[in-house]
Structure 1
Amino acid sequence: MADETTKKYDDMTAEERESYDKIEKAKEDAEQAALPYTWRQTLQDVNVSIPVPKGTRGRDLEVVLKKKHIKIALKGQPAILEGELCKDIKLDDSTWSIEDQKQVEIHLEKSNQMTWWEHVVTSAPKINTKKIQPENSKLDDLDGETRAMVEKMMFDQRQQAMNKPDSDALRKQEMLEKFKKQHPEMDFSKVKMDQ
């Protein structure tokens, strides 16, 4: 099904893609708005905000953070947020606090700081990580080597979304083509390129 959607998307005109993207974005926004929390992320972390009744204190909450699991509940009530996390977190660098006795703020430090999360917990609706645009100012703040790595990762994600080879595969193809030109006497018909 995903391949069919991708092929259809590739065949769409720019206007059709824009319309399709708007519909998908509206659907995604509606699904996210229906969640009992809001969340945002950078490549390094995920921050979750959960509204709770005014006057809530830390002792009123049950908060469980594990490497791949989260549970936030008011004591004696069903969990507001519970489930398997999208990806592993660094427990020692993940924290939670209560803001103005009416909101729980959870900071989850990603173990893998080179991936976007599709959702906080695996049971929640996914977002389209291919459409994430990091803030340019944040990219500008990175040192050259880190920025190049992030830009390569973003390029690779876009390529994978279109079922095209990533930068490493392209580099291998380029090297093979150069080698073929330098050695026309060799038979390359049996060469297989891993992607």
Structure 2
Amino acid sequence: MSTSPTPSEREAKDKADRAREAEEQAKLPYKWRQTIGDVDVDVPVAANLRGRDIVVEMTKTKLKVGVKGQEPVIDGPLPHPIHPSESTWTLETSSSSGKEISLHLDKSNKMQWWSGVTTNAPYHLDTAKITPENSKLGDLDGETRGMVEKMMYDQRQKEMGKPTSEEEGKMAMLEKFKKQHPEMDFSGAKMS
């Protein structure tokens, strides 16, 4: 019979896992970070390189990055699809003594964490342990924002014992119907 770890044992294991992941990620020939909506990758290259010396191929499901005539730094299938037309790359002077290829990958699924830049990367994150950043309503697209605002409004209304937006809509339709049909008796009508 096994016992589940205590909170302090679990915290120590999580801390050790994060340290191991950070060490593994540091061994990669590039740096990467993600938000729920995108992935940014920085690949260091020599300072004398120009844009024409760089090879970047981005498709919906594959990424290849490197220097012409050399083995690619990144070459493999993406863990999840991207929007290639919304994804970009630039060659920039880095804070160290070289340059870096900076890639911005726009995730197709804005609700999915990636465990790595490619599925063949040597190290992967445990996505179950990712703590999402706080997001603002303004960060959401119009349709999602409207849906979230409606849910928040309905939640506040329920907490105050008031009708939700759907119930308000039904009551407004009933009032309109009553005005259109004054000959009808609605004294016994019940809303459900």
Change (3 A) 1:21 1:104: same
Unaligned regions of 5+ residues in structure 1, if any? 1-7, 150-195
- The Cα shift of 1:66 comes to 1.0
The answer to whether the 8 A contact 1:139-1:147 is kept is no
Unaligned regions of 5+ residues in structure 2, if any? 140-144, 152-192
User: What is residue 94 of structure 1 aligned with on the other side?
Assistant: 87
- The Cα shift of 1:140 comes to 6.3
Q: Residue 26 in 1 paired to residue 24 in 2? A: no
- The Cα shift of 1:59 comes to 0.4
Rounded Cα–Cα distance in structure 2 between residues aligned with 1:141 and 1:15: 37
- The Cα shift of 1:55 comes to 2.4
- The Cα shift of 1:23 comes to 1.2
Q: Residue 71 in 1 paired to residue 64 in 2? A: yes
Report SS of the residue matched to 2:90.
strand
Larger radius of gyration: 2
The answer to whether the 8 A contact 1:73-1:80 is kept is yes
Rounded Cα–Cα distance in structure 2 between residues aligned with 1:57 and 1:148: 50
Rounded Cα–Cα distance in structure 2 between residues aligned with 1:15 and 1:111: 38
Change (3 A) 1:144 1:20: farther
Q: Deviations over 1:31-89 (max 9, x none)?
A: 11100111111111111011100122110111111111111111101011111111111
Q: Residue 118 in 1 paired to residue 111 in 2? A: no
Which segments of structure 1 move beyond 6 Å, counting only runs of 4 or more?
Answer: none
User: What is residue 36 of structure 1 aligned with on the other side?
Assistant: 29
User: What is residue 104 of structure 1 aligned with on the other side?
Assistant: 101
Change (3 A) 1:140 1:59: same
| Number of residue pairs matched by the alignment | 140
Report SS of the residue matched to 2:111.
coil
Higher helix share: 1
Change (3 A) 1:110 1:139: same
Q: Residue 128 in 1 paired to residue 126 in 2? A: yes
Report SS of the residue matched to 1:11.
coil
Q: Residue 58 in 1 paired to residue 58 in 2? A: no
The answer to whether the 8 A contact 1:85-1:121 is kept is yes
Q: Normalised by the size of structure 2, how large is the TM-score?
A: 0.67
- The Cα shift of 1:144 comes to 7.2
% identical aligned pairs:
43
Q: Normalised by the size of structure 1, how large is the TM-score?
A: 0.66
- The Cα shift of 1:117 comes to 0.7
Rounded Cα–Cα distance in structure 2 between residues aligned with 1:60 and 1:148: 50
Change (3 A) 1:27 1:144: farther
Q: Deviations over 1:101-134 (max 9, x none)?
A: 7010001111111111111100121112122222
